[in-house]
Amino acid sequence: MANQAKLTTAGKEFEYPILKGSVGPDVIDIRKLYGQTGQFTFDPGFTSTAACESALTYIDGDEGVLLHRGYPIGQLAEQSSFMEVCYLLLNGELPSGDELETFSTTITRHTMLHEQLATFYRGFRRDAHPMAIMCGVVGALSAFYHDSTDIADPEHRKISSHRLIAKMPTIAAMAYKYSVGQPFLYPDNKLSYTGNFLRMTFGVPAEEYEVIPAVEKAMDRIFILHADHEQNASTSTVRLAGSSGANPFACIAAGIACLWGPAHGGANEAALNMLKEIGTPDKIPHYIERAKDKNDPFRLMGFGHRVYKNYDPRATVMQSTVREVFEALKVDDPLFETALRLEEIALNDPYFVEKKLFPNVDFYSGIILSAIGFPTTMFTVLFALARTVGWVAQWNEMISDPGQKIGRPRQLYTGPTQRDYVAIDKR
Ligand code: SDX
């Protein structure tokens, strides 16, 4: 097959190389297009655009496949740990026992926040959305760690990456504690990454907090499911911010801001709120009709995906995790039945079948997080906590590419052509 794509435009024929990856769609390298034709491609929303080359995560949306450095998400969710997946995403290979031990210890030793940062929280109202707090505090980290913001230095990049992965649970737990008026708890280095997070979130100084192993395992698996996801909106935001040479803390704060949107990471909060609004299964048909009505902005939150035109493999694992957590906590939530029924009805409705709208990672996660005790306002914070490793791994991959340039898209201009200024007394 020819490895050139032919384009005829402006009365001439041009050829552009077709590049092949290790798996997945080929790409047409159009970097010379504007210089040769004076024309841009036009792809708002980037539905047909590969913005970069990456070796981190591969998604096959038609087959419902998600690989991290080649390992299927289902195997990682069942057999790995979040710390091991962090190592894999950052270093490209699964660690040996010693490597994992050293990595986990390094992360553990960075979990504490500078004491001054605790005062940042007191500047927020108690009812501030935790995502607003997270945006602010993570962006402020760059004011504290000038010793690791020289992005040209691989060692600085490594320390900043470790600091971000390590401190997100502490920042997230403090945002929750602040919202409920309870004192902050310091990290406990004897606990696992996830166990430490659960204790900082739900523990109180007055008594020993007991980490429930089944909940710790479920939470750790939820972190794995959210770790990275190719060039999604927030990861692309981190890459674009990083392409200007901005420090890693500022780039991750930009990613957090983008993730907050209900079309992206904010969907887990919106999905549970939707299930609460629907309430009982008998109300589902009304909401299905609303979701199909072009004049109604209502959408089934937690359904649909830009890439997955099949079942999101993360939603499969999430659904089975609901049952495990309910069992461990001896709880039940009628919203789970409503969610299962909604999925069943939607997946048999021609509208959703034709548009290939399946449950995504956000559809079931809220039910689990709610059962564990998190308020809905914390759901996207947990998504950001877990996605930080993906963001920093993608950022490192971009910055260490000697050929990377500042991202600077162009446009199709449809505004007024040049005209002369008119003095105000002549308008
Ligand atoms: C995440 O990119 C990633 O990888 C993201 C993520 C990650 O890990 O980083 O996977 C995490 O963000 C998951 C997605 C969470 N968002 C939601 O659950 C919000 C609800 N879903 C949608 O808003 C929507 O499906 C998107 C934003 C996820 C995808 O939108 P696209 O790809 O731009 O598709 P579209 O909006 O053009 O929809 C195609 C059609 C439209 O109908 P037509 O105009 O063709 O007639 O499907 C319809 C839409 O109206 N549609 C829905 C729908 N999602 C799409 N109709 C009802 N309910 C929905 N949820």
Total length of the chain: 427
The pLDDT value recorded for residue 247 is 94
The pocket around ligand 1, CB under 6 angstroms, is made up of 229, 232, 263-265, 267, 291, 299-307, 355, 357, 360-362
Residue 418 lies in a domain: no
Q: How many CB atoms lie within 10 A of CB 130?
A: 24
Q: Output the residue whose Cα is nearest ligand 1's atom 36.
A: 306
The pLDDT value recorded for residue 146 is 78
One-letter amino acid for residue 21 of the chain: G
Q: What percent of the chain has pLDDT over 90?
A: 95
In this predicted structure, the answer to whether residue 293 has a pLDDT above a threshold of 90 is yes
Contact 238, 250 (CB under 8 A): no
Q: What is the mean pLDDT of residues 140-160?
A: 89
Residue 139 lies in a domain: yes
Q: Output the residue whose Cα is nearest ligand 1's atom 44.
A: 294
Q: Output the residue whose Cα is nearest ligand 1's atom 34.
A: 306
- CATH number of the domain that 34 lies in? 2.20.28.60
Q: How many CB atoms lie within 10 A of CB 316?
A: 18
Q: What is the mean pLDDT of residues 323-350?
A: 92
Identify whether residues 77 and 182 lie together within a single domain. yes
Identify whether residues 124 and 240 lie together within a single domain. yes
In this predicted structure, the answer to whether residue 2 has a pLDDT above a threshold of 70 is no
Task: Note the pLDDT tens digit of each residue in 67-123.
Answer: 999 999 999 999 999 999 999 999 999 999 999 999 999 999 999 999 999 999 999
In this predicted structure, the answer to whether residue 212 has a pLDDT above a threshold of 80 is yes
Contact 380, 369 (CB under 8 A): no
Residue 408 lies in a domain: no
Identify whether residues 182 and 313 lie together within a single domain. no
Identify whether residues 291 and 368 lie together within a single domain. yes
| Ligand 1, pocket-test mutation among 56, 306, 364, most atoms within 8 A of CB | 306
C-alpha 262 – ligand 1 centre gap (Å): 10
Residue 294 lies in a domain: yes
Residue 411 lies in a domain: no
The pLDDT value recorded for residue 326 is 93
Identify whether residues 160 and 241 lie together within a single domain. yes
**Number of domains making up the chain:** 3
Identify whether residues 100 and 236 lie together within a single domain. yes
Contact 74, 216 (CB under 8 A): no
Residue 410 lies in a domain: no
Model confidence band, residue 4 (pLDDT cutoffs 50, 70, 90): very high
The pLDDT value recorded for residue 1 is 54
Residues with Cβ within 8 Å of 15's Cβ and at least 6 positions away in sequence, in order, are 4, 5, 6, 7
- CATH number of the domain that 94 lies in? 1.10.580.10
Identify whether residues 223 and 355 lie together within a single domain. no
The pLDDT value recorded for residue 147 is 77
Identify whether residues 303 and 284 lie together within a single domain. yes
Q: How many CB atoms lie within 10 A of CB 229?
A: 24
The pLDDT value recorded for residue 385 is 98
- CATH number of the domain that 278 lies in? 1.10.230.10
Residues with Cβ within 8 Å of 285's Cβ and at least 6 positions away in sequence, in order, are 345
Q: Output the residue whose Cα is nearest ligand 1's atom 21.
A: 304
Residue 105 lies in a domain: yes
Q: Given strand 4-9, what is the order of strands in its sheet?
A: 4-9, 12-19, 27-28
Q: Output the residue whose Cα is nearest ligand 1's atom 4.
A: 232
- Exposure string over 332-359, b if 16+ CB within 10 A, otherwise e: ebebbebbeebbeebeebeebeeeebbb
Question: How does strand 27-28 pair with strand 12-19?
Answer: antiparallel
Counting atoms of ligand 1 from 1, which one is nearest the CA of 303?
Answer: 60
In this predicted structure, the answer to whether residue 315 has a pLDDT above a threshold of 70 is yes
Identify whether residues 206 and 319 lie together within a single domain. no
Identify whether residues 108 and 124 lie together within a single domain. yes
The token duo for 190 is 């004897």
Q: Which residues are marked as active site? A: 305, 362
Task: Note the pLDDT tens digit of each residue in 164-187.
Answer: 999 999 999 999 999 999 999 999
Task: Note the pLDDT tens digit of each residue in 18-47.
Answer: 999 999 999 999 999 999 999 999 999 999
Counting atoms of ligand 1 from 1, which one is nearest the CA of 305?
Answer: 28
The pLDDT value recorded for residue 89 is 98
The token duo for 82 is 């979040």
Residue 381 lies in a domain: no
| Ligand 1, pocket-test mutation among 48, 65, 299, most atoms within 8 A of CB | 299
| Ligand 1, pocket-test mutation among 46, 358, 360, 388, most atoms within 8 A of CB | 360
Q: Which residue carries 């902050």 as its tokens?
A: 184
**Residue numbers of the domain that contains 365:** 267-372
- pTM listed for this prediction: 0.95
In this predicted structure, the answer to whether residue 124 has a pLDDT above a threshold of 70 is yes
C-alpha 289 – ligand 1 centre gap (Å): 17
Identify whether residues 326 and 354 lie together within a single domain. yes
Identify whether residues 111 and 19 lie together within a single domain. no
